[in-house]
Amino acid sequence: MAKKIVFIGAGPGGYVGAIRAAKLGADVTVVENDRVGGTCLNRGCIPTKALLASSDVLTAIKEAEEFGIHIDGRVSPDIGAMMDRKDKIVDRLVRGIEFLFEKNNVKMIKGTGRITDKNEVTVLKGDGSSETLKADAIVVATGSSPARIPIFPYDGKRVLTSDEALNLRLLPSSMIIVGAGVIGCEFGMFFNNLGTSITVVEMMDHALPLEDKEIGREMEKVLKRKKIKLMLSTKIVKAEIIDNGVKATLHSGEVIEAEIMLVAIGRKANIQGLGLEQAGVRVENGRIPVDEFMKTNIDSIYAVGDVVPGPQLAHIASAEAECAVENIMGNKCSMDYSAVPRGVFTDPEVAGVGLTEEEALARGYRIKKGVFDFRGLGKAQAMGQLTGKVKVIADEITGKILGASILGPHATDLIQELVAGIKYGLTAEELSAAIHSHPTLSEAVMEALKDVNGDAIHKI
């Protein structure tokens, strides 16, 4: 008899795990109280990238003269049309997942799932009825929501989270963004490019505080060139909604104002109301601890994605879900987080994998590093994309790659070569020996790898 698996949540953890389980022969049911795709598809990764793509087109038009192209007439952004395009893309991808469920015989139940026993999930439906599902295994994949900090008077109009920012139909004249992390930088660049005056307030001493500090400093230069005001080592102690916008009081006593405020300072796991305590599932610091097999302290209950400790990234959720399913189905899988790529879809992009320089030194490694600027590439010159660099950190003793960071064009695509290098324990010399096509942006990765040992050819 096929194993019965119930997934609570249909985000990048739940839907990927469900399809994988069905392909392995399981009887799969997914419980979801919203649309399939989770935050990533509906309110995160995909919508933001669709909007940023519109912003990139506007940038290309603004810079057309540099490429010998003359554009006559008025060019202006239409934020409503951009939002419509974004919604169409999301709808298309949602239908794609629903089709995959149907094709793979994954059952979908609309409602809120609650664990009522270690092998039982009760679903409360929109019409007030309920249904009880029996399962050999339960996978919690309920994702996360924007963190709401008490000092900010959220109203969805003047003080927003990223959820509301993704549905703005009128372009604000000015915006305060709280947090210079991934969300803050991406939204800041999007609205700045459309003409909004942006002020970013960050508690830490550099932009993108979770990335390599050198790369964060490079991002600060980019923000400055775009005339985005960045206030580092700064804390907001009070925020108020006023007649014409929002007023924020800083720890220094300075007061800043804007039409709206976007609070972009992290996310919290969606674990309330799941019945975890009733089922005996341990919760620590607002997350669900799991072992390397993605199993909780209860043998039949697994958890994946944003609800477990670690980085809250869609691709991690998918990998964890597939790993959990393999273990449920009797195969052996343990999670390896040593080579997880990170991406920031700004202009230019930022990507990283493995350890930053600061993390490597803090762990006691003796390191050597290689750096190569994109301006040294023929392809980057041809594209007019000169800003940025590739940075590689290697163990001085073994030569193995410990981490890498990229700020530059297509950084989120280029990082994958370095992900593979770390995943399979390659040295900088071994990976750089692979022939890289010319002229391509990937040559910057090759040159940075060679530079670890002082062998870069085109470095000035």
Joined tokens for residue 289: 């601890």
Helix (H, G, I), strand (E, B) or coil at 130: strand
- Cβ–Cβ under 8 Å, residues 190 and 175: no
Amino acid making up residue 150: P
Cα separation, 131 vs 227, whole angstroms: 55
CA distance 284 to 100: 35
Which residues are the active-site residues? 438
Question: Residue holding tokens 């309330």?
Answer: 272
Q: 42 with 114: CB under 8 angstroms?
A: no
Distance, in Å, from the CA atom of 44 to the CA atom of 165, rounded to the nearest integer, reads: 11
E strands, 252-322, in order: 255-258, 260-263, 267-269, 301-303
Residues making up the binding site for NAD(+): 179-186, 202, 266
> Secondary structure of the chain: what % helix, strand, coil (to 5)?
35, 25, 40
- State the angle between helix axes of 79-103 and 14-23 in degrees (0 to 180), rounded to the nearest 10: 30
Cα–chain center distance at 457:
34
Residue 415 near residue 446 (C-beta atoms within 8 A): no
Annotated binding site: 49, 113, 142-144, 179-186, 202, 266, 306
What CA–CA distance (Å, rounded) separates 81 from 186? 19
Which secondary structure element, helix H or strand E, spans residue 439, and what is its range?
A: none
- Token representation of residue 360: 């490597």
Residue numbers belonging to the annotated binding site for FAD: 49, 113, 142-144, 306
CB 317 within 8 A of CB 305: yes
3-state secondary structure of 425: coil
Residue found by looking up tokens 């470095």 in the block: 459
Which DSSP state fits 427?
Answer: B
What is the longest distance spanned by two Cα atoms in the chain?
Answer: 70
